[in-house]
Amino acid sequence: MSARPSDVLTIEASFDGTGVTTALPLADIGDHVMRNGLALLKGAFPAALLQPVLDGVFTWGQESAPQRESENSFHRIDERPPQSQCPHTFHAHNFQLRPGRIEAEMDALIRPIFSAMRDLQNSVGGTNAQFEPDAEMRFLRPQVIQYPSGGGFFDEHVHPLEPQRVGLITGLSEKGRDFNEGGTCFRVDGVEYSFEDTHAMGDIILFRYDIPHWISPIDESESLDWTRKAGRWTMVLPYY
């Protein structure tokens, strides 16, 4: 069974220069997400603020060598890696917002957005997550992910509810400009929700972290080319 996008609670939002403000109290939004699974914040960040992030992260990923893992900021191209339990194709740009682990120019570019997302995460999720490790060595791990045109995707998967509780997905691209088809999907109580047409650049999807979700193939009929900017881009903030 599928549902219309209008079935998802949609809240007008804006960025005041330091944080995301919403038309409803954040605690109430968090309660709604925990009970019902999903909410959408429309216009949380202006496109003019996000476009330099998209351009800058893409350039960094083209000009620096990819790595499988690193204690510093790094990027990695995954094209159906055989070692993964959940099939996927994407370009993950992984950042550490800690001294010495990220270039100063990149830090200045992305920190305002991820700091606002951190504060939103803590408000709606009831967490106290930070970029620095806590006593249990858990911390926020900012990512910018490109699901490239030519078949970028992520199979259906779930996460443990704790410690994140609420996941955030900030749109960093525009359908019809950066890609033409495919998007983020969820299943709540047997009902499927697709945000392909409703998750625009600057919008934030909020979801209870333990519900099934996936990325349907992006422009599957096109040729896959990792040197192209084309595709669906998102900013996410895993906490573990």
Q: What is the mean pLDDT of each run of 10 residues along the chain (240 residues)?
A: 68 97 96 98 98 98 94 96 92 96 97 98 97 96 98 97 98 98 96 96 98 98 97 98
Q: Give tens-digit pLDDT for 171-187.
A: 999 999 999 999 999 99
Which pLDDT does position 82 carry in this prediction? Answer: 87
Say which residues have a Cβ less than 8 Å from residue 202's Cβ, sequence separation at least 6: 43, 44, 45, 46, 47, 49, 50, 170, 171
Closest CA to 152 of 223, 64, 46: 223
Say which residues have a Cβ less than 8 Å from residue 125's Cβ, sequence separation at least 6: 30, 164, 165, 166
pTM over 0.85: yes
N- to C-terminal Cα separation, the chain: 32
How many folded domains does the chain comprise? 1
Question: What six digits make up the tokens of 17?
Answer: 């220069």
Q: How far apart are CA 32 and CA 55, in angstroms?
A: 34
Number of C-beta neighbours around residue 32 at 10 A: 18
Residue 185: in which H helix or E strand, if any?
A: strand 184-188
Which pLDDT does position 56 carry in this prediction? Answer: 98
Q: Are the CB atoms for 67 and 75 separated by under 8 Å?
A: yes
Which pLDDT does position 4 carry in this prediction? Answer: 53
Which pLDDT does position 83 carry in this prediction? Answer: 86
Which pLDDT does position 39 carry in this prediction? Answer: 98
Which pLDDT does position 85 carry in this prediction? Answer: 87
Number of C-beta neighbours around residue 16 at 10 A: 8
Which pLDDT does position 124 carry in this prediction? Answer: 98
Q: Give tens-digit pLDDT for 189-224.
A: 999 999 999 999 999 999 999 999 999 999 999 999
Q: How far apart are CA 227 and CA 225, in angstroms?
A: 5
- The residue segments making up the domain with residue 108 are 5-236
Q: How far apart are CA 187 and CA 179, in angstroms?
A: 23
What's the CATH code of the domain at 149?
2.60.120.620
